[in-house]
Amino acid sequence: MTLDVNPMSPAGSEAKELKSARTRARILDAAARVLSEKGYAGTRLSDVAAVAELRSPAIYYYFDSRESLIEEVMWSGIAQMRQRLEAVLDAVGPEQTPMERIMIAVDTHLRHELEASAYTTASIRNAGQVPERIRTRHTDESQRYGAIWRDLVRAAADEGEIRPDLDLYMARMLVLGALNWAAEWWTSSRGSVDTVVATA
């Protein structure tokens, strides 16, 4: 036997909020998947609705436009990766050298990008495609993520683990560019993520 919950009661209100949060998350998950596969120009709300198993008009209850939905996915992708990398680096013991910390960051970046998050894949693949008006939060979060890498590279240089004649900004951007590009060319048919990480 099931019990009806009065939607006006505290329990009913909480249940409604939980259902709403789950539906919103489902829409975001679907949008991340579609955006990562079809790109900004090819992402249609009808496709997102189909993946989320909803009717298209339902999306407008949670997001006022296609752009606001994509903006949320783009920001979430880079924010998730930053939070993951911070957590991993915070857990690393002090015995790790700066270069070992960079290798840990490489591992974390690739695994998150290729295995863990369609949000991050969508964010990386579409960073140069979305219009400026919906890029602000993504850009700000990207700079926060880049600052982690800047500190990693600077620490390795200070310890003499990077050649002193190298431009540290160029080195960092080349490494991040190579890591991000893996989202474009890697598939499981080309080898495991373990192999990609080991090679990197």
Domains of the chain by residue range: 66-199
pLDDT value of position 191: 85
Q: What is the mean pLDDT of the chain?
A: 89
d(CA 157, CA 170): 13
Can you read off the two tokens belonging to residue 148?
């982690």
Place of tokens 């994509």: 70
Place of tokens 């890591």: 179
3-state secondary structure of 8: coil
pTM: 0.82
Contact 56, 65 (CB under 8 A): no
Band of pLDDT at residue 157, cut at 50, 70 and 90: very high
The fold of 66-199 is Tetracycline Repressor; domain 2 (1.10.357)
pLDDT in tens, 26-67: 999 999 999 989 999 999 999 999 999 999 889 999 999 999
3-state secondary structure of 164: coil
pLDDT in tens, 123-141: 888 888 888 888 888 889 9
Looking at residues 179-196, what average pLDDT do you find? 88
Give exposure, 8-21, as e/b (b: 16+ Cβ within 10 Å): eeeeeeeeeeeeee
Can you read off the two tokens belonging to residue 158?
């200070």
